[in-house]
């Protein structure tokens, strides 16, 4: 929650953390959609050391439901078992990561 409403053209730093715990296995992806334009976005995904994926791709999807990956490139896990992507600007897009366990 912001301390006060932002004025036109103002920016704010937002940082939030989500820990996932599922009863059934979820999709092997983490993605976020942007309507309009957002600047200076960083996505960071950390994997549990006992459940490391075989491969991870940074990607862009074509829509929210029944989505297809329309752009991707392979990324490497760092020493903390995580991947991250920084975007100067995202406009009307869905971006994130997907991975495989094999």
pLDDT of 21 reads 80
Q: Report residues of the chain scoring pLDDT below 70.
A: none
pLDDT of 28 reads 92
pLDDT of 74 reads 98
pLDDT of 39 reads 86
Q: Are 99 and 53 in contact (CB under 8 A)?
A: yes
What is the residue extent of each domain of the chain?
A: 33-100
The pTM score is: 0.80
């Amino acid at each position: 929650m912001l301390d006060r409403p932002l004025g036109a053209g103002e920016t704010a730093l937002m940082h939030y953390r989500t820990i996932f715990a599922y009863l059934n296995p979820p999709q092997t992806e983490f993605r976020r959609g942007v309507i309009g334009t957002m600047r200076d976005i960083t996505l960071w995904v950390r994997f549990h050391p006992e459940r490391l994926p075989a491969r991870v791709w940074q990607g862009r999807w074509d829509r929210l439901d029944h989505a297809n990956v329309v752009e991707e490139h392979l990324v490497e896990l760092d020493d903390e078992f995580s991947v991250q992507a920084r975007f100067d600007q995202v406009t009307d897009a869905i971006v994130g990561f997907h991975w495989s366990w094999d």
